[in-house]
Amino acid sequence: MTPRHSALLPRLARTRRLLRGAALCLAAAIAAPLAVPAHAEAPQVKTQVPGFYRYQHGAFEVTALYDGFIDLDPTLLKNTSQAEIQRLLAREFLAAPKMQTAVNAYLVNTGSKLVLVDAGAAKLFGPTLGFIVDNLRAAGYTPAQVDVVLLTHLHGDHANGLVGPDGKAVFPNAEVRLAQEESDFWLSQANADKAPEDFKPFFKMARDAAAPYQAAGKWKPFAGETELLPGVRAVAARGHTPGHGGYLFTSNGEKLLIWGDLVHNAAVQFARPTVAIEFDTDKTQAVRTRQKIFAYAAKEKLLVAGMHLPFPGIGHVRQDGKRYSWVAVEFGPLR
């Protein structure tokens, strides 16, 4: 652990308390009975459509998978005033006291490999998350079919869907790939020992996620911006965590960058890319990385996808002077 990283641990401990509070409030809200019961001859159905969305990308079939959502406190956003954050949220008609934050993963069938990018939170952050496997099945696949899991980083809402409550591998036939720096940081016993008590669980989550894959010889960190599979390349995007990165999928000349946690709140951070989040291990580096990738994506009209963008989280970045905007792809059948 670098001094820079260990200095941030107390702040992350506060973050953890905020998250825990949010999850408890949500559980209570979901369990509450409806104020007005349905009296129609046709009762209100109340279920939502399955949380997947298919998108054809060259010869690759991309399936966005919805793990669920978590409500985050706007005070987690840093580098600007809370008044400015509230103004930016209201501009997108997001008036609630908390920020509904999606957690997405992406399943890419390249035609030769079935690749899952991130695996969601399982049930570690409350009952409103942990639906990746349900939605993967709804989308016509099974966990046993997944050949490779690519992790953008080792935070619990991305990696802990790798393991079941029994500690076993949810994707028994998959190799897990991630940046060497990310694996080294979170799996280090020395880093865990040095961490404040309230922050140690983050290291434990990472170790729990890795354990069955390590035991099976399927935990395979990589170095640098390497080509991992035909048409699939790692892209470093450091700052949010020490080894945070995205994956660039290229097929028939078309490019899709799945960028992990480059953005935590679309309403705020496209308009103000300098806004960081408490979860960033290195906020300065995270901001610099976001600015660089936004500029590149806008200039190249790159198709991008992100784990906390509004589901399905696939779209483009538009530059409007010094600000950016998120332009989601339009719903439709595969064409």
Minimum CB distance to a copy of itself, residue 203 (Å) = 31
Minimum CB distance to a copy of itself, residue 43 (Å) = 8
Decide if residue 7 touches a copy of itself (CB under 8 A).
Answer: no
Decide if residue 92 touches a copy of itself (CB under 8 A).
Answer: yes
The DSSP call for residue 59 is: T
Query: Which residue lies nearer to a copy of itself by CB, 130 or 245?
Result: 130
For residues 90, 94, 98, 100, the Cα torsion angle rounded to the nearest 10 degrees is -150
Query: Which residue lies nearer to a copy of itself by CB, 76 or 205?
Result: 76
Query: Which residue lies nearer to a copy of itself by CB, 34 or 83?
Result: 34
Decide if residue 143 touches a copy of itself (CB under 8 A).
Answer: no
The DSSP call for residue 20 is: H
Beta-ladder partners of 232? 229, 249
301: tokens are 């009209």
Q: Cβ(316)–Cβ(300) under 8 Å?
A: no
Count of Cβ atoms closer than 10 Å to residue 78 Cβ: 15
Minimum CB distance to a copy of itself, residue 310 (Å) = 4
Decide if residue 141 touches a copy of itself (CB under 8 A).
Answer: yes
Among positions 237-256, residues that touch a copy of itself (CB under 8 A) are 252
Cis bond leading into 273, ω under 30°? no
Minimum CB distance to a copy of itself, residue 135 (Å) = 9
Query: Which residue lies nearer to a copy of itself by CB, 73 or 147?
Result: 147
DSSP reduced 3-state for 150:
strand
What is the widest separation between alpha-carbon atoms in the chain? 65
How many residues belong to the site for a copy of itself (CB under 8 A)?
65
Query: Which residue lies nearer to a copy of itself by CB, 79 or 145?
Result: 145
The residue count of the chain comes to 335
Minimum CB distance to a copy of itself, residue 130 (Å) = 13
Q: Cβ(25)–Cβ(71) under 8 Å?
A: yes
Q: Cβ(85)–Cβ(74) under 8 Å?
A: yes
Q: Residue 141 and residue 279: Cα distance in Å, rounded?
A: 32
Among positions 275-314, residues that touch a copy of itself (CB under 8 A) are 301, 310-312
258: tokens are 């799945």
Decide if residue 147 touches a copy of itself (CB under 8 A).
Answer: yes
CA distances from residue 81 to 75, 86, 266, 283 in whole angstroms, order as listed: 9, 9, 17, 16
Q: Cβ(315)–Cβ(39) under 8 Å?
A: no
Query: Which residue lies nearer to a copy of itself by CB, 48 or 189?
Result: 48
Beta-ladder partners of 255? 250
- Segment near a copy of itself (CB under 8 A), from 189-197, 268-276, 288-296, 324-332? 324-332
Minimum CB distance to a copy of itself, residue 30 (Å) = 8
- Both ends of the chain: CA-CA distance in Å? 47
Query: Which residue lies nearer to a copy of itself by CB, 277 or 286?
Result: 277
Minimum CB distance to a copy of itself, residue 69 (Å) = 6
Q: Residue 313 and residue 287: Cα distance in Å, rounded?
A: 20
Q: Which of 15, 19, 66, 171 binds a copy of itself (CB under 8 A)?
A: 66
Decide if residue 27 touches a copy of itself (CB under 8 A).
Answer: no
Decide if residue 335 touches a copy of itself (CB under 8 A).
Answer: yes
Residues at the contact surface with a copy of itself, assessed by CB under 8 A? 29, 34-54, 58-59, 61, 63, 66, 68-69, 91-94, 100, 102, 109-114, 128, 138-141, 145, 147, 252, 301, 310-312, 315-316, 318, 327-335
